């Protein structure tokens, strides 16, 4: 493979991986929308029952307000008029369930996007490295490239275990 071909391939690899990262973000948007629809579907029957009850309660309040106003209108000197005001909202417990479902879905989607993005970055870097390594002619250049540490070397798993063991868990608040 000659230098021109390598340069062209590097350009193609970069463009392909830009598109792949955009596709990952687009898919994240789709999955987020699917999760929102799933939450809505999960509570659709309950929402309908709540809307029906709210409508019926509102009608009862309107009737009660009419009766209360009639009572006050019948008073001598019509001192003042009052109205009953009643508001309804979704019980806090149900709101918390929905919020927790949405939060869990977002955390899961964010993790999957981060994993996919990291995987793409690794693959892109590997492909570009392979193209570059093939172009290196001198032993000094190859040795220099070989001196770049891997992430596993920078943060080895055993060191992570040491850090966790040294962590004072009793000082961390829940």
Confidence band for 126, pLDDT divided at 50, 70 and 90: confident
Measured between alpha carbons, how far is 40 from 47 in angstroms, rounded to an integer?
A: 9
Binning pLDDT at 50, 70 and 90, where does residue 155 land? Answer: low
- What's the whole-number average pLDDT of the chain? 79
- Written as six digits, the tokens of 105 are 């879905």
Write out the two tokens for 139: 């032993």
Read off the pLDDT of each residue in 62-85 and give the average, rounded to a whole number. 71
Let me know: does 31 contact 104? Beta carbons within 8 Å. Answer: no
Look at residue 172 in the predicted model and tell me its pLDDT.
Answer: 46
pLDDT of residue 89: 63
More confident residue, 115 or 78: 115
Instruction: Give the tens place of pLDDT for each residue, 22-58.
Output: 999 999 999 998 988 888 888 888 888 888 888 888 8
CA atoms within 13 A on the CB side of 14: 8
Instruction: Return phi, psi of residue 79, to 5°.
Output: -50, -50
Joined tokens for residue 138: 């001198």
Tokens standing for residue 21: 């990262």
How far is residue 77 from each of residues 1, 40, 68, measured CA to CA in Å? 102, 53, 16
- Domain boundaries of the chain, sorted by first residue: 3-168
Q: How confident is the model at residue 173 (pLDDT cuts 50, 70, 90)?
A: very low
Q: Which run of H or E residues covers position 171?
A: none
- Rounded Cα gap, residues 6 and 133, in angstroms: 10
Q: Are 140 and 18 a contacting pair, CB within 8 Å?
A: no
What is the value of pTM for the model shown?
A: 0.55
Q: Say if CB 2 and CB 137 are below 8 A apart.
A: no
CB-based contact 120:21 (threshold 8 Å): yes
- pLDDT 10s digits, 6-21: 888 888 888 998 899 9
Question: In terms of Cα–Cα distance, which of 106, 90, 113 is closest to 38?
Answer: 106
């Amino acid at each position: 493979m000659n230098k021109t071909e390598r340069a062209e391939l590097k350009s193609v690899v970069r463009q392909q991986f830009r598109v792949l990262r955009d596709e990952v973000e687009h898919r994240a948007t789709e999955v987020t929308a699917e999760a929102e629809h799933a939450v809505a579907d999960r509570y659709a029957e309950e929402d309908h029952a709540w809307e029906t009850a709210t409508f019926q309660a509102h009608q009862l309040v309107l009737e009660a307000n009419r009766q209360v106003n009639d009572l006050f209108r019948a008073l001598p000197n019509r001192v003042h008029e009052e109205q009953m005001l009643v508001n309804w909202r979704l019980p806090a417990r149900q709101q918390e369930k929905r919020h927790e479902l949405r939060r869990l879905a977002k955390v899961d989607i964010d993790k999957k996007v981060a994993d996919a993005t990291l995987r793409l970055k690794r693959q892109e870097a590997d492909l570009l490295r392979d193209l570059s390594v093939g172009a290196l002619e001198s032993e000094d250049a190859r040795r220099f490239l070989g001196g770049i540490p891997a992430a596993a070397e920078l943060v080895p798993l055993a060191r992570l275990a040491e850090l966790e063991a040294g962590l004072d868990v009793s000082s961390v608040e829940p």
